[in-house]
């Protein structure tokens, strides 16, 4: 991303976040960031016209830069990073806890749990590389993190919201956004509770090597039979967007009578 665009997104994202907080409160900003459609639109309005993985990284980066000087005023702290820097988020949360008088260790634990769930309990072929944890002085938080499938060259975004969160493993997500590819093992589905419990039991009784042996036996049985039964699930609300919004020379109307300024010399 060119510096001029990053600077523009930082300034615009900051003032928009300020307006939301001042008019609707901090919790409302968290709620909107946890909504994938709003987050996508937010990035487009800030100036990122490519509907790609860059939306997530650019928006989070802009908010971290822009809201850092306003932490005391707004009571919002953006702890985030990509790649190896994402693992520094728990330490940033500990610092925030010391700053505002909250138990930062609780947030650091939540950060690790969220990352572990989306990398282990949601087995979808996407490797996490960006993790952001946005927390307020009131102790509410939202997480936006992103994974990449290098083979498909596609990204998937995971949204969490602390408000209403009852469990880290039982349908905890506010949303997961991204095209569906291949087979997904979603152990956070409420219907997977028995499976989770049995897996933990197998791990305790057999150990990793024993599980591998049992899996090999099951695969041989499936090969001899008709294979596993697959059940189609209903399609959830989804957002389909073009990869890029092209503005061509024929799109703007240069005729004064079509101008919203009514030809007043704009």
Q: Where are the domains of the chain?
A: 3-185, 189-226
| Segment 151-158 mean pLDDT | 90
Instruction: Summarize the confidence of residues 235-242 as an average pLDDT.
Output: 71
Q: What is the pLDDT of residue 200?
A: 87
Q: Find out whether 101 and 135 touch, Cβ atoms under 8 Å.
A: no
% of the chain exceeding 70 in pLDDT: 88
Work out the pLDDT band at 123, boundaries 50, 70, 90: very high
**What are 45-101's pLDDT values in tens digits?**
998 877 778 899 999 999 999 999 999 999 999 999 888 888 899 999 999 999 999
d(C-alpha 76, C-alpha 138), whole Å = 9
Instruction: Please indicate whether residue 219 or residue 27 has the higher confidence score (pLDDT).
Output: 27
Band of the pLDDT at 233, cuts 50, 70, 90?
low
Which tokens sit at 133?
Answer: 């944890």
The predicted pLDDT at position 163 comes to 95
**pLDDT for the residue 103:** 94
181 falls in which pLDDT band (50, 70, 90)? confident
Confidence of residue 164 (pLDDT cuts 50, 70, 90): very high
Give the residue among 110, 132, 116, 140 at the shortest CA–CA distance from 28: 140
Tell whether the torsion through CA atoms of 220, 181, 117 and 174 is positive or negative.
negative
> Per mean pLDDT, which range of 55-69, 134-148, 169-183 is the poorest?
169-183
Q: For position 228, what pLDDT does the model report? A: 60
pLDDT value for 254: 63
pTM flag (> 0.85): no
Confidence at residue 239, expressed as pLDDT on a 0 to 100 scale: 72
CA angle 57, 63, 68 (to 5 degrees): 130
Share of residues in the chain with pLDDT > 90 (%):
60
Distances (CA, A) of 32 to 21, 28, 149, 153: 11, 6, 26, 27
pLDDT of residue 266: 45
> What is the distance of C-alpha 71 from the center of its chain?
22
Name, in order, each residue with C-beta under 8 angstroms of 156's C-beta and a sequence gap of 6 or more: 124, 126, 146, 147, 148, 149, 176, 177, 178
Query: Does pLDDT of 140 surpass 60?
Result: yes
Alpha helices in 101-244 (DSSP H): 104-116, 193-224
């Amino acid at each position: 991303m060119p510096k001029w665009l990053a600077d523009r997104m930082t300034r615009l994202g900051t003032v928009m976040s300020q307006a939301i907080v001042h008019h609707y409160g901090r919790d409302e900003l968290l709620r909107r960031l946890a909504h994938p459609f709003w987050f996508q639109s937010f990035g487009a309005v800030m100036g990122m016209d490519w509907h790609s993985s860059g939306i997530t990284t650019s928006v989070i980066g802009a908010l971290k830069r822009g809201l850092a000087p306003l932490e005391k005023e707004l009571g919002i702290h953006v702890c985030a990073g990509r790649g190896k820097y994402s693992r520094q988020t728990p330490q940033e949360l500990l610092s925030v806890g010391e700053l505002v008088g909250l138990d930062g260790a609780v947030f650091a634990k939540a950060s690790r749990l969220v990352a572990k769930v989306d990398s282990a309990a949601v087995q979808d072929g996407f490797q996490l590389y960006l993790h952001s944890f946005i927390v307020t002085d009131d102790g509410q938080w939202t997480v936006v993190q992103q994974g990449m499938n290098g083979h498909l060259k596609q990204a998937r975004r995971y949204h969490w919201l602390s408000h209403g969160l009852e469990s880290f493993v039982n349908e905890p997500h506010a949303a997961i956004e991204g095209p569906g590819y291949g087979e997904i093992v979603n152990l956070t589905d409420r219907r997977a509770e028995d499976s989770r419990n049995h897996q933990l039991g197998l791990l305790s009784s057999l150990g990793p090597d024993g599980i591998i042996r049992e899996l090999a036996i099951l695969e041989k049985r499936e090969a001899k039979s008709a294979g596993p039964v697959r059940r189609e699930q209903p399609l959830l609300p989804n957002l389909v967007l073009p990869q890029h919004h092209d503005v061509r020379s024929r799109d703007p109307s240069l005729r004064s009578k079509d101008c919203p300024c009514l030809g007043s010399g704009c």
